[in-house]
Amino acid sequence: MTFVVASPSLSVRGARIAFGDRVVTADLTLEFPGGRTTCLLGRSGVGKTSLLRWLAGLLPGTERAQPIAYMAQRDLLLPWLDLLDNVLLGYRLRGDALARRAAEPRARRLLAEVGLGQRLGDRPEMLSAGMRQRAALARTLCEDRPVVLMDEPFAHLDAVTRLELQDLAARLLDGRTVILVTHDPLEALRIGHQLRVLSGAPFSVGPAIEPPGPVPRDPADPALLGLQGRLIAELRSTPGSTP
């Protein structure tokens, strides 16, 4: 377990995201509580990913407020590096050999924690999709940044693997400020301390929903399933994207 001291909250004040004439959101004010996981829900095309990329400073002309770790839908492991080197990628790319050597024990430990301790020298092509996404999770955590942004990180996986990875992520991300984009209400309810629903064009953000109990929550919990029903109804009542 990696301990993160006092992860900061993240606040957005009066933000505007637009691609040319298409305004994704205007005058957006939003607070992401520190040390907690906030899940952003919404229908496809509403602008969840744009918001996340904006926060990550990945949109043209934007700069991010603080260091973040980013995990995408695809594992983005480099096929020519073994798992250990993939997990240490950030240190390689920053060219800091000293920090890299210092981080190596943590990379090994993280890979062990995600169940890949025996596969350090394997290249990604030798692993299943679930294993690769677990390695990507280890890489994200190895960056050891207080804010973690995740863009539908488990969307590609089969149902059972997805549940397992949600449990793992909830455990390992404990204490960090996490913003996770998903279109799966159950996923949001399982691992989010707080849920926000994005709707409309330009989108606005609904009130914070805080399901009871610690994360990861039991998917069979009747209260959770009740909430899921309500969330789905809410998502269905919002207009979908017009391509």
Partner 1 sequence: MRPLITAIGLLLAWEALAWATGVPVYILPPPSRVAVVLVERFDLLMEQGVWTAAEMMLGLALGLILGATLAVVFAASAGWRRWALPLVIVSQAIPVIAIAPLLVLWLGYGMASKVAMAALVIFFPVVSTLYDGLRRTDPGWLDLAQTMDARPHAVLLQIRLPAALPAFASGARIAAAVAPIGAVIGEWVGASAGLGYLMTQSLARGQTPLAFAALFLLCLLGLALYHATDRVARRLVPWQSSQGE
20-37 burial, b at 16+ Cβ within 10 Å, e below that, comes to eeeebbeebebebbbbbb
Among the listed residues 93, 159, 160, 220, the single contact to partner 1 using CB under 8 A: 93
The answer to the question of residue 67 lying near partner 1 (CB under 8 A) is yes
The answer to the question of residue 4 lying near partner 1 (CB under 8 A) is no
In the complex, minimum distance from the CB of residue 76 to partner 1, in angstroms, rounded to a whole number: 5
End-to-end CA distance of the chain: 43
Among the listed residues 14, 60, 61, 95, the single contact to partner 1 using CB under 8 A: 95
Residue placing its CB nearer to partner 1 in the complex, 80 or 225: 80
Residue placing its CB nearer to partner 1 in the complex, 93 or 220: 93
Contact 182, 41 (CB under 8 A): yes
Total residues at interface with partner 1 (CB under 8 A): 25
The first and second tokens of residue 211, run together, are 């399901």
The answer to the question of residue 123 lying near partner 1 (CB under 8 A) is yes
Residue placing its CB nearer to partner 1 in the complex, 94 or 230: 94
Residue placing its CB nearer to partner 1 in the complex, 74 or 183: 74
Residues that bind partner 1 (CB under 8 A): 53, 56-58, 67-70, 72, 74, 76, 78-80, 89-90, 92-95, 123-125, 143, 149
